[in-house]
Amino acid sequence: MKQKTTGYSLLACGALFGISVATSAAAADVSKLTESCIGCHGKGGANTEVAIPNIGSYSAEYMTGAMKLYKTKERPCPEVKIPGGAKKGSKSDMCQAIKDLSDADIKQIADSFAEQKFVRTPQKFDPALAKKGKALHDKLCEKCHSEGGSVASDDAGILAGQKMAYLDEQIKFFTEGKRPMAKKMKPKLEELDKAGIEAVIHYYGSFK
């Protein structure tokens, strides 16, 4: 009886060890895949660059969709100077960063950043504009960007506390037809004039 127990224990330990090795290998693969992402977006997807969004906690579905649009160049890829990592100081863009990734790679990266925490960026905003922006958001945007655009499971990115300069740039891409836009978003965005867009951005920037 003792021998059977010992044999079972050895098998169990072997199985657990196998799982441990597989888990470690998977973690290493993900780490390698996200290495270049971290160079721009920062550890956990949080950085201090005004033109580079914080992406920690973005839903995997949203991240996957965004990366596939970059890969097919259906979404603009502004060039930025890489702020950290092995390629610090050099210039690149999202289309270049994504071009060699497989669908499986994209899924692993998206899943990895979805597990991180979103870090809101402290930034200067106009309280009066933010108040006006809240009213506009509640009227036009809340249905898809719930709780002020702070809910990752909306699969629409995270707006609350995102970099205002980045949001301004992306809205311009939408209005200029350079970035694909959901059909239900287009009429809502068209209701906003330049002042309204500025107010909504200040509202998102007011989140701490």
pLDDT tens per residue, range 81-131: 999 999 999 999 999 999 999 999 999 999 999 999 999 999 999 999 999
User: Each residue of 170-197: pLDDT tens digit?
Assistant: 999 999 999 999 999 999 999 999 999 9
* 27 band by pLDDT with thresholds 50, 70 and 90: low
The residues pairing with 81 across neighbouring beta strands, listed in sequence order, are 91
Domains of the chain: 2-114 (1.10.760.10), 127-205 (1.10.760.10)
What's residue 22's pLDDT?
Answer: 41
What's residue 29's pLDDT?
Answer: 83
* CA pair distance 62, 129, nearest whole angstrom: 28
Q: DSSP secondary structure string, 86-134?
A: TTTT-EE-HHHHHTT--HHHHHHHHHHHHTSPP-PPP----HHHHHHHH
CB atoms within 10 A of CB 193: 9
pLDDT over 80 at 18, yes or no: no
* CA pair distance 102, 110, nearest whole angstrom: 12
3-state secondary structure of 157: coil
What's residue 170's pLDDT?
Answer: 98
